[in-house]
Amino acid sequence: MPTVSPARQRRNGEFVTDPLTGELAEVRRIQPYAADKAYRCPGCNQEIAPGTGHVVVVPLRLPDERRHWHLACFERRATRRPGR
């Protein structure tokens, strides 16, 4: 499992196990003013509209495989299956 550098730890991110891959991942909060594109939430399979605050889960080993989640879906990921 990769280690987290001190520089990365100082960011505003939180580190968790990615619910879809099981790998270590960084969670970044996206503020509504910075959300300028639509994304598909893997937690509920619904659209995250532009201008909606949400979180991005960025796997440390595969940063291009990042996923955008509704905050509520991400907080409830342990009790829900993906796409439900």
Query: How far apart (Å, rounded) are the C-alpha atoms in residues 65 and 41?
Result: 13
Query: How far apart (Å, rounded) are the C-alpha atoms in residues 61 and 84?
Result: 26
The reported pLDDT for the residue numbered 81 is 61
Query: How far apart (Å, rounded) are the C-alpha atoms in residues 59 and 62?
Result: 5
Give pTM, 2 decimals: 0.77
pLDDT tens track for 2-54: 555 554 544 557 888 887 788 899 999 999 999 999 999 999 999 999 999 99
Per-domain residue ranges for the chain?
6-75
